[in-house]
Chain A
Amino acid sequence: MAFLQLTNIQKSFGPVQVVHNFDMGIDKGEFVSFLGPSGCGKTTILRMIAGFETPSGGTIFIDGKDQGALKPNQRNIGMVFQAYALFPNMNVHDNVAFGLKVAGDSKPEIDKRVKQMLGLIKLEHLADRFPYQLSGGQQQRVALARALAVKPQVLLLDEPLSALDAKIRVSLREEIRQIQQQLGITTVFVTHDQEEALSISDRIVVMNAGRADQIGTPFEIYNTPATRFVASFVGTLNIIEGKVADPAIGAVTIGGQQISLSEPITGAKGGDSISLALRPEAGSIAEGARGDTALPGKVVSRSFLGSVIRTKLRVGEDIISFDMFNDPGMIPPVAGESVTLRFAAKDLLVIRE
Chain B
Amino acid sequence: MKARRLGAWIAIAIGASYFIVPLLGTLEFSLRMRRDAYSFDAYRSVFSDFQFRETFGYSMMMAVLTIIFGMLLVVPTAYWVRLRLPQVRPIIEFITLLPLVIPAIVIVFGYLRLYNSSSILPLTGSTSGTNMLLMFSYMTLSLPYMYRAVDTAMRAIDVRTLTEAAESLGARWPTILFRCIFPNVMSGVLSGAFITFAIVMGEFTMAALLNRPAFGPYLQLVGANKAYEPSALAVIAFAITWLSMGLLQLVSRFQKSAPAKA
Indicate if B41 sits at the interface (CB-CB under 8 A).
no
Given A86-B260, A130-B257, A163-B262, residue A78 in contact with residue B184 (CB < 8 A): no
Contacts of A143 in B (CB 8 A): 165
Indicate if B167 sits at the interface (CB-CB under 8 A).
yes
Q: State in angstroms the CA–CA spacing of A317 and B175 once bound together.
A: 64
Contact-size category for A: 20 to 34
Q: State in angstroms the CA–CA spacing of A258 and B256 once bound together.
A: 71
Given A87-B162, A88-B157, A89-B183, residue A78 in contact with residue B257 (CB < 8 A): no
Q: Please, which residue of chain A has its CB at the minimum distance from the CB of B182?
A: A89
Mark each residue of chain B from 162 to 191: 1 if its CB lies under 8 Å from any CB of chain A, else 0.
Answer: 101111111110010001100110100000
- Partner pick for A84 among B168, B171, B258, B260, CB 8 A cutoff: B260
Indicate if A98 sits at the interface (CB-CB under 8 A).
yes
Q: Please, which residue of chain B has its CB at the minimum distance from the CB of A86?
A: B260
Indicate if A285 sits at the interface (CB-CB under 8 A).
no
Q: Is the CB of B257 within 8 A of A98?
A: no
Q: Is the CB of A83 within 8 A of B167?
A: no
Q: Please, which residue of chain B has its CB at the minimum distance from the CB of A79?
A: B168
Task: Please report the total number of B residues contacting A with Cβ < 8 Å.
Answer: 26
Indicate if B90 sits at the interface (CB-CB under 8 A).
no
- Partner pick for B168 among A72, A86, A88, A163, CB 8 A cutoff: A72
Q: State in angstroms the CA–CA spacing of A79 and B260 once bound together.
A: 17
Indicate if B203 sits at the interface (CB-CB under 8 A).
no
Contacts of B165 in A (CB 8 A): 79, 81, 85-87, 143, 146
Contacts of A71 in B (CB 8 A): 167
- Partner pick for A85 among B164, B179, B256, CB 8 A cutoff: B164
Indicate if B259 sits at the interface (CB-CB under 8 A).
yes
Indicate if B261 sits at the interface (CB-CB under 8 A).
yes
Q: State in angstroms the CA–CA spacing of A78 and B169 once bound together.
A: 7
Indicate if B158 sits at the interface (CB-CB under 8 A).
yes
Q: State in angstroms the CA–CA spacing of A74 and B258 once bound together.
A: 32
Q: Is the CB of A83 within 8 A of B158?
A: yes
Q: Please, which residue of chain B has its CB at the minimum distance from the CB of A89?
A: B183
Indicate if B87 sits at the interface (CB-CB under 8 A).
no
- CB contacts under 8 Å to B, within A128-146, are 130-132, 136, 139, 143, 146
Closest CB of chain B to A188's CB: distance in Å? 13
Q: State in angstroms the CA–CA spacing of A89 and B158 once bound together.
A: 13
Q: State in angstroms the CA–CA spacing of A220 and B42 once bound together.
A: 91
Q: Is the CB of A72 within 8 A of B164?
A: yes
Q: Is the CB of B169 within 8 A of A150?
A: yes
Closest CB of chain B to A279's CB: distance in Å? 35
Contacts of B258 in A (CB 8 A): 132
- Partner pick for B171 among A73, A75, A83, A130, CB 8 A cutoff: A73
Q: Please, which residue of chain B has its CB at the minimum distance from the CB of A163?
A: B262
Q: Is the CB of B167 within 8 A of A73?
A: yes
Closest CB of chain A to B8's CB: distance in Å? 37
Indicate if B126 sits at the interface (CB-CB under 8 A).
no
Indicate if A103 sits at the interface (CB-CB under 8 A).
yes
Closest CB of chain A to B229's CB: distance in Å? 46
Contacts of B175 in A (CB 8 A): 102
- Partner pick for B164 among A81, A86, A139, CB 8 A cutoff: A81
Q: State in angstroms the CA–CA spacing of A79 and B165 once bound together.
A: 7
Q: State in angstroms the CA–CA spacing of A143 and B184 once bound together.
A: 18
- Partner pick for A102 among B171, B183, B262, CB 8 A cutoff: B171
Contacts of B168 in A (CB 8 A): 50, 72-73, 75, 77-79, 147
Q: Please, which residue of chain B has its CB at the minimum distance from the CB of A72?
A: B167
- Partner pick for B261 among A83, A99, A146, A150, CB 8 A cutoff: A83
Contacts of B225 in A (CB 8 A): none
Closest CB of chain B to A169's CB: distance in Å? 14
Q: State in angstroms the CA–CA spacing of A103 and B169 once bound together.
A: 9
Contacts of B158 in A (CB 8 A): 83, 85
Contacts of B179 in A (CB 8 A): 87, 98
Indicate if A52 sits at the interface (CB-CB under 8 A).
yes
Q: State in angstroms the CA–CA spacing of A100 and B95 once bound together.
A: 40
Indicate if B48 sits at the interface (CB-CB under 8 A).
no
Closest CB of chain A to B62's CB: distance in Å? 30
Closest CB of chain B to A27's CB: distance in Å? 22
Indicate if A116 sits at the interface (CB-CB under 8 A).
no
Q: State in angstroms the CA–CA spacing of A73 and B174 once bound together.
A: 13
Indicate if A82 sits at the interface (CB-CB under 8 A).
yes
Show 19 A/B contacts (Cβ-Cβ < 8 Å), sorted by A: A72-B167, A73-B171, A79-B164, A81-B161, A81-B165, A83-B260, A86-B165, A87-B179, A87-B180, A88-B260, A89-B186, A102-B169, A102-B171, A102-B175, A103-B170, A130-B257, A132-B257, A139-B260, A150-B170
Known: A78-B168, A99-B170. 7 other contacts (CB 8 A): A72-B167, A83-B161, A87-B166, A98-B166, A131-B260, A132-B260, A163-B262
